[in-house]
Structure 1
């Protein structure tokens, strides 16, 4: 009797919950500012986080393909907990920098490996056709968790802005036993000798030899960077309307609930619009969300944030699915990590500049600039995807 790997799915949900139940997110920028950091400092910290992810992203995906998804997820979960311990003990830029580096390495071990294990578990049970639905549900669970954490984190912040970081240590720890209970999936493996050489072979195949895969990775990475960038502007954007911490927490909650509910509908939207139609919706929707949020100087701009988060809920699971469809199991985690690698490279390049731009001009100007760049890059990439799909 063949083994069922469906038992991995609820454990992956727990790991997702531990990662996304972020009590710190609705107040983290305010916490930085309370400790004397500017927006340029804040986004520089996040750029260093991205550098830490970049350094380990592809190797961690390769480790997941060679050593196993389970061991990689355990390592990421342990580092995720340790990073918040460092945060709880720190009060300046360099302490926060150390915490971000630990969290960045931990995140790189989880990203790619979780989606790869989900897809391969379904593949083993001959249910790979349900991946988009499952990935959408998992994304929804993550966003619902972040939404509830927004209320909880905002409430804990009324005690002090450091309190959510202390509680986050215990939340992050939940992922450790969950990852230890995962069941490794049997799969075809890459040869283990000359590991770095094999990583380069996978990267060369994904970014050079396979045009279709290259374009899909690039397209997904551009909009992954876009959603990551806007997330760090939400708190200062709302603060400019003189909102207190609890109200910011409530809006953060509602934004993530919006993503969660929309993600549940992503597979239906994609089946109706098709790949090119959905991709067009994503490029126009996300770039215009940036620009409209920047143009609006009143609280009506909050509506534009919700519009952006609706499109984000559609985009994230669909763009991952497009990559999975054209990637084999033996390199899936490495390829997904390559996607995250490019996202972090793009973010590390643009984020400090957007922080500087925001400090010297305005948040609105920074959002308009970012939206214009995203539309240009995304539009050009989609054009080439369209040409490739027609061949």
Structure 2
């Protein structure tokens, strides 16, 4: 089946549109810098991401259960609307009062986490079940490959344009062309990438409304209370199933470890690039290079995920990730971009592996709930590492002078914590190694 034929499947087409527009955020190339320019500190930035993760933890699984019982499209639509609101908040917040800005960003993180939880699992379940109904579920890895390539193509544009929007020299020429007074600092132009993201969010709303889902049969009494009880029962039953199924638990634990450590670092990559002496204008070129890497190697990632035995795959990816974090911690000027690119490839490959194996072992009736547990475990880990990193950085920075902090020496020193944290990979591997000796997991 050709890519063109796959794209003719309505829910698959709009799933790809939703995913690519939902994460097309022009401020991502300068994510950390944006928060700092709004007047927040690096520790506040880390803690706000903990709040984001905690919100998803609280909302993730119940939202997945409601998706399975009340309807997946409803949650995807609601997610897109909440996402639009949370972006609008930071687009228009006044910056005169730092305490007020922090409160607004706190609410923004809560809404962002809620939007992520609502969509998590529901959009994927809609697309996968459409394939399954047509007897084409074996096409799912190819759908993920297409998603990677589309998202990466969009990402090239978003990162190049987003980074350019944050470069004072580039925007000065744009302002001059438009007859506007030249910006003097990034604080004068920091809202422009947010405005652009707000426009793209409308595409995500359109895609969400365009998805189709068969209407759920009403509960026996037709009351919402019954649906709520059914959702909670499904959540509890799915939790028991996950904990009693070593194969699924194994997959979810590894997913969480790989994903939350890499997400924490990649969230701060703009600060990392600045620390290794890369000008802001090149952030977009790096982001475009990452997207191009994903396009070129998406097929290779899929083949690795499908063909390598799970135990061997995890061992290779785990050791490669440890080596990559060690390389990052060295803080090499300019060449420090290379391990960041390697980390992107590892994460891309692991995500295809996880989705492929998890969907293969999950039944349709609780697929969104199981996928929500996947998000839950990631965000528990992300919240934990966010708290640990914020505390560690605060303690570490006290041992450096203001001049050293201004040159990001303390930040580079803090990156070694990622390597030591990932030692958890060895602990989890040892646990499942001995467990597998009693009863084979794979």
TM-score if structure 1 supplies the norm length?
0.92
Residue 213 (structure 2) pairs with residue 204 (structure 1)? no
Residue 330 (structure 2) pairs with residue 269 (structure 1)? no
What is the distance in 2 between the residues matched to 1:129 and 1:189? 31
Residue 19 (structure 2) pairs with residue 16 (structure 1)? yes
Alignment of 1:235-250 (within 5 A): 235-250=270-285
CA contact 2:259–2:347 (8 Å) conserved in 1: no
Greater C-alpha radius of gyration? 2
Q: Which residue of 2 is the match for residue 87 of structure 1?
A: 90
CA contact 2:49–2:109 (8 Å) conserved in 1: yes
Q: Which residue of 1 is the match for residue 142 of structure 2?
A: 133
Q: Which residue of 1 is the match for residue 3 of structure 2?
A: none
CA contact 1:70–1:184 (8 Å) conserved in 2: yes
1:389 CA displacement: 4.1
What is the distance in 1 between the residues matched to 2:61 and 2:295? 28
TM-score if structure 2 supplies the norm length?
0.81
Please state whether the residue corresponding to 2:29 is helix, strand or coil. Answer: coil
Q: Say which of 106, 109, 119 aligns to 1:100.
A: 109
Q: Which residue of 1 is the match for residue 358 of structure 2?
A: 323
Deviates more, 1:334-343 or 1:253-262: 253-262
CA-to-aligned-CA distance 1:338-362 (integer Å, 9 cap, x gap): 1111111111111132234345253
What is the distance in 2 between the residues matched to 1:263 and 1:355? 34
Residue 214 (structure 2) pairs with residue 167 (structure 1)? no
1:259 CA displacement: 3.2
What is the distance in 2 between the residues matched to 1:84 and 1:116? 26
CA-to-aligned-CA distance 1:45-75 (integer Å, 9 cap, x gap): 1111111111111111111111122111111
1:141 CA displacement: 2.1
For structure 2, the 5+ residue unaligned runs are: 1-6, 96-100, 172-188, 220-225, 398-409
CA-to-aligned-CA distance 1:146-194 (integer Å, 9 cap, x gap): 2321111112223411111112111111111211111215899999444
Q: Say which of 233, 256, 260 aligns to 1:221.
A: 256
CA contact 1:262–1:314 (8 Å) conserved in 2: no
What is the distance in 1 between the residues matched to 2:360 and 2:373? 16
Deviates more, 1:236-245 or 1:256-265: 256-265
CA contact 1:5–1:125 (8 Å) conserved in 2: no
Q: Which residue of 1 is the match for residue 161 of structure 2?
A: 152
1:372 CA displacement: 2.6
Please state whether the residue corresponding to 2:308 is helix, strand or coil. Answer: helix
Q: Which residue of 2 is the match for residue 60 of structure 1?
A: 63
CA contact 1:358–1:366 (8 Å) conserved in 2: yes
Q: Which residue of 1 is the match for residue 405 of structure 2?
A: none
What is the distance in 2 between the residues matched to 1:309 and 1:328? 30
CA contact 2:30–2:163 (8 Å) conserved in 1: yes
Please state whether the residue corresponding to 2:40 is helix, strand or coil. Answer: coil
CA contact 2:71–2:215 (8 Å) conserved in 1: no
What is the distance in 2 between the residues matched to 1:39 and 1:73? 32
Q: Which residue of 2 is the match for residue 182 of structure 1?
A: 211
1:227 CA displacement: 2.1
1:144 CA displacement: 3.0
CA contact 2:256–2:374 (8 Å) conserved in 1: yes
Q: Which residue of 1 is the match for residue 413 of structure 2?
A: 365
What is the distance in 2 between the residues matched to 1:131 and 1:382? 28
What is the distance in 2 between the residues matched to 1:213 and 1:17? 27
